[in-house]
Amino acid sequence: MFGIGSTELIVILIVALIVIGPAKLPEMAKSLGKALGEFRRVSTDVKRTIEMEAEQSEQKVKTEQAKKELFPETAATAEPEAAAAPAPDQPAEQPTVKATENEKDKA
């Protein structure tokens, strides 16, 4: 546990008993235990979330590779279409309307 030996732990408990007092020490120990338990639960939850995200990403890559292997003609035709399509974060180009000389003469 944190590299603390039994002698150091006894000294820490004696100092805590003197500083905090015998009445408050059980309360402090209980709240410290709850805080450590909550920290452990949260860290385990974060670890599981990261592992799930990594697994989903890996599964997505494997699925794309399998599609390319099974349907090479579909992947080959889909790539140029994807390259020609504008990125979702970039605005699409608006068609420009040019007036012909006849329309300019009428105005």
The 10s digit of each residue's pLDDT in 10-36 is 898 889 889 888 888 889 889 989 999
Cα torsion through 18, 21, 27, 31, rounded to 10: -40
Question: Which residues have C-beta within 8 Å of that of residue 16, sequence separation ≥ 6?
Answer: 25, 28
The pTM of the full predicted model, rounded to 2 decimals, is: 0.47
Determine the Cα angle at 42 with ends 37 and 48, to 5°.
Answer: 125
Q: pLDDT digits over 56-105, tens only? A: 999 999 999 999 988 887 755 655 555 555 555 555 555 555 555 555 55
